[in-house]
Structure 1
Amino acid sequence: MPDFKELSRSVAGLTVLVTGAASGMGRATARVFAADGANVAVTDVAGEGAQAVAAEITAKGQIAKAWALDVASPDEVRAVVDDVAAQFGGLDIVVNNAGISVRLAIDDDGYDEAWAKGLAVMLTAHQRVIRAALPHLRKSKCPRIVNIASTEALGATALHSAYSVAKAGVTGLTRSLAVELGRDGITVNCICPGPITTGMTDRISAEHKAVYARRRTALGRYGDPEEVAHMTLSLCLPAASFLTGAVIPVDGGLMARNA
């Protein structure tokens, strides 16, 4: 019988790049990884917001640096990814979290523009970040990619077609790259958050949130960003080395519930 393998459940010393990390799930992800001992590259189109999150982390004696990054810019993506690897001496983990809210009727005059922007930020950017990171990930002993999609990729809501298409594309990208990059030892997984308390959901009244959560989720509440962040961390542990191509709802049981 083979010996029992001790597999690490810590990302301490590894370097993670998180996009869209100035707020919400991205901020929570940066802080959760930092608390576990990772070196965190906090990136966001809002450079001052990224700086603020990095300052929160370093104030606790943990390691983080901030970069302004518009993930829709190919040049910025390449430059920032390479600089992160240079600053930290490598790159082990990519968390593609950056996203925007796109809510528009199919016959709205601004639909084409919203469609293009939604796909640029929430789908095309994911593959660009991954492509820029690949040379560095291939040198890592624990290469991980986690793409953040949404339960809108699994079941749609009216007026969210551009958003849903982008998020469904992320699940397809995840599965395809899991197969393609598996021989390099790079795992690629996807999280589909359900109703989470973030800046994107601030416009929804507390009363409406409570009614929706009671009707739609098994747990009867909205989730916290940290609850998604901890699942992201779990997918990136050295011990998660045989998990790839997974699409995991973190949704309080929303997708499991029929009525």
Structure 2
Amino acid sequence: MRPIPEVVARLDGAGAIVTGAASGMGRATAILLARAGASVAVTDVRLADAQAVVDEIAAEGLSAQGWALDVADHDVITRVTEEAAAAFGDVSIIVNNAGISASLPIDDATYDTEWDRHLVILLTAHQRLIRAALPHLRRAAHPRIVNIASTEGLGATAGFSAYSAAKAGVIGLTRSLAVELGKSGITVNCICPGPIDTGMTQAIPDEAKQVYAARRTALRRYGLPEEVAFMTVSLCAPAASFVTGAIIPVDGGLIARNA
């Protein structure tokens, strides 16, 4: 019989790029990747915000650098990817996490503008970062791509059609690239967070969150950013070598629950 190999969860020597890493799930992911041994490119729109997370990581004696990255800017994506690869000697992990969310009825006068903004930030940016990183990923020992979508890509809430369409696109992109890049040994997976306590949900009153969670989730609560980040980091581990094309809800049982 084939011997059972050791579980390899460490990411020593890996270079990782995390978008939208200044807060919420992105911040938790960057910190956990660094704790697993990766050198992390902490990227966000404002360099000062990204640097604050870098300082947190550095305070633990771990490796990270910060970059200002507007994921709507193709040229900046390319530049930051190359700078991160030069700084770390490797880019083997991509976490497409940056996002926006806005409620807007389809007959709103600004709908076309918001549609374009949602698609470029939530979907187009994913493929642009992946394409920029591909030469490095193809040389890596354990190349990993994790795209953050949403349960809104699996279901829908009224008024969020642009967001839902973009997130459904992320799911499709993930599956297609998993098939296309599998021959290169690159795994591509997608996480669909449900109701999570992040900046995007900060404006929702606590009472409304409690009512929603009790009515919709099996665990009867909102999730924490760290609970999503743990799943993200587990998909980046060398031991996750046979997981690709997976669409994983981290939603407290929201999708599973009928009543």
With structure 1 as the length reference, what TM-score do the two structures score?
A: 0.99
Corresponding residue SS for 1:49: helix
| SS in structure 1 at match of 2:181 | helix
SS in 2 for 1:228: helix
Cα-to-partner distance string for 1:147-171 (whole Å, 9 max, x where unaligned): 0000000010000000000000000
- Pairing 1:202-217 to 2, within 5 Å after superposition: 202-217=202-217
Cα displacement (A) at 1:40: 0.7
**Within the alignment, does 1:150 sit opposite 2:155 as a pair?**
no
Matches of 2:4 and 2:219, distance apart in 1: 36
d(CA) in 1 for partners of 2:4 and 2:29? 31
2:39 paired residue number: 39
Does structure 1 conserve the Cα–Cα contact (< 8 Å) formed by 2:9 and 2:36? no
Q: Structure 2: 5+ residue runs without aligned partners?
A: none
**What is the rounded CA distance, in whole Å, between the counterparts of 1:53 and 1:9 in structure 2?**
23
Aligned-pair identity in percent equals 66
Q: Which runs of 5+ in 1 are unaligned?
A: none
Which residue in the other structure is 1:228 paired with? Answer: 228
Displacement of 1:2 in angstroms is 2.1
Corresponding residue of 1:78: 78
Matched with 1:258 is: 258
Question: Secondary structure of the equivalent of 2:139?
Answer: coil
Looking at structure 2, the residues matched to 103 and 11 of structure 1 have their Cα atoms a distance apart, in angstroms, of: 38
CA distance, structure 2, for counterparts of residue 229 and residue 2 of structure 1? 32
Superposed, which structure 2 residues align to 1:93-104 within 5 Å? 93-104=93-104
The one-letter code matched in structure 2 to 1:15 is G
Partners of 1:38 and 1:89 in 2: how far apart? Answer: 12
Distance 2:254 2:2 in 1: 41
Classify the secondary structure of the residue corresponding to 1:41: strand
Question: Partners of 2:136 and 2:12 in 1: how far apart?
Answer: 18
Aligned to 2:88: 88
- Whole-angstrom CA distance in 1 between matches of 2:14 and 2:250: 24
Residue 85 of structure 1: SS of its match in structure 2?
A: helix
Code of the aligned partner of 2:48: E
Alignment deviations for residues 213-237 of structure 1 (CA, whole Å, 9 cap, x no partner): 0000000000000000000011011
| Aligned counterparts of 1:12 and 1:248: Cα–Cα separation in 2 | 25
- Work out whether 1:108 is the aligned partner of 2:108: yes
Matched residue SS, 1:42: strand
- CA-based RMSD of the aligned residues comes to 0.7
Q: Which residue of 2 is the match for residue 249 of structure 1?
A: 249
Counterpart check, 1:25 vs 2:25: yes
Q: Distance in 2 between matches of 1:98 and 1:9?
A: 25
Residue 47 of structure 1 aligns with an amino acid whose one-letter code is L
Q: What SS is found at the alignment partner of 2:95?
A: strand
- Equivalent residue, structure 2, for 1:163: 163
CA deviations 1:188-208 (Å, max 9, x no partner) are 000000000000000000000
How far apart are 1:35 and its partner, in Å?
1.4
Structure 1 position 47, deviation (Å): 1.4
**In the alignment, which residue of structure 1 is the partner of 2:2?**
2
Counterpart-to-counterpart distance in 1, 2:167 and 2:2: 42
Q: Deviation of residue 37 (structure 1)?
A: 1.5
In the alignment, is residue 199 of structure 1 matched against residue 222 of structure 2? no
Read off the aligned partner of 2:258 and give its amino acid letter.
Answer: N
Equivalent residues of 2:104, 2:159 under 8 A apart = yes
Give the secondary-structure state (helix, strand or coil) at the position aligned to 2:255. Answer: coil
- Residue 13 of structure 1, CA deviation: 2.4
Is the deviation greater in 120-129 or in 36-45? 36-45
Shift, 1:7, TM fit: 3.9
Contact 2:25 2:198 in 1 (8 A): yes
Q: What are the within-5 Å matches in structure 2 for residues 43-58 of structure 1? A: 43-58=43-58
| Structure 1 stretch displaced more, 28-37 or 125-134 | 28-37
CA distance in 1, matches of 2:255, 2:3: 39
TM-score normalised per structure 2: 0.99
Q: Which residue of 2 aligns with 1:183?
A: 183
